[in-house]
Amino acid sequence: MKPTRAALVLTATALAPVLLLSTPSFAAAAAAAAPTAPAAATVVDSDTDNAVAIARILADPASGKAVKQEAQKALDGTPADRVAFLATGFAKAQDEDNRVAIVRILAGKPGRGVTREANAALDGTPADRVAFLATGLAKAQDEDNRVAIAKVLFANPATGKAVKREADKALDGTPADRAAFLKTGLRLAQAEDDRVDVGRILARPGISDALRAAARKVVDGTPEELRYFITVGQYQV
């Protein structure tokens, strides 16, 4: 069930950290994750075939540090070492890599949803960690993105029409829509609102020549220039 708008408002307003204009999307978080482990590695009677299977694991660019280290040990070891790696060592090494990947995600200070699910995965089973990296991370990041957008939409009474319009679309859209809004859409919508505000300043009767000149100069500027003018620059003229 999707969170209701009312629930999102309550959650957003309760958050202590201030939302930045650039909130990491779940895609960025997922990029830091290690590959998930296959269900099992096949052990055969032929040591040559086992060595080939381990060599393929070692050559796989998706293999993590622990997997590569243990695979190399197995290749350099005895036939029994190779059997042991394929039977149990591979899964253990992959779980170690998955743990490292989850710790790195937590080190990036993600939102509450990702933090909660990442900690649950670390405290859980290897299968829990596989599931978190495969699907849970994306779901938890989308939960955090929803809360972040709700905070944009409801926590600031001065939020402009364009930002509200695009935030509503993102909340009603897909996880990718929400990630895109936080990555680029919010910035562009804020610039649209700021440009409208600059136009209102220019339309005010009796403004000084200096303020008029500054407003005309910035009206076609970048989103960052518009934001600075509205929040700081106009008061410095």
CA distance 200 to 160: 13
| Domain segments of the chain as ranges | 20-141, 156-237
Q: Stretch 177-199: mean pLDDT, rounded?
A: 96
For residue 22, pLDDT beyond 90 = no
Question: For the purposes of burial, counting CB atoms within 10 Å of the CB of 99, is it exposed (0-12), middle (13-18) or buried (19 or more)?
Answer: middle
Predicted confidence (pLDDT) per residue in 116-145, tens digit: 999 999 999 999 999 999 999 999 999 999
Q: Stretch 22-28: mean pLDDT, rounded?
A: 44
The neighbour count for residue 19, using CB atoms within 10 Å, is: 18
Q: What residues have CB less than 8 Å from 54, skipping those under 6 apart?
A: 71, 74, 75, 82, 85, 86
* Residue 156, pLDDT score: 84
CA distance 95 to 133: 11
pTM of the predicted protein model: 0.76
Half-sphere exposure for 156 (CA within 13 Å, toward CB)? 15
For 108-129, b where at least 16 C-beta lie within 10 A, e where not — what string?
Answer: eebbebbeebbeebeeeebebb
Predicted confidence (pLDDT) per residue in 72-103, tens digit: 999 999 999 999 999 999 999 999 999 999 99
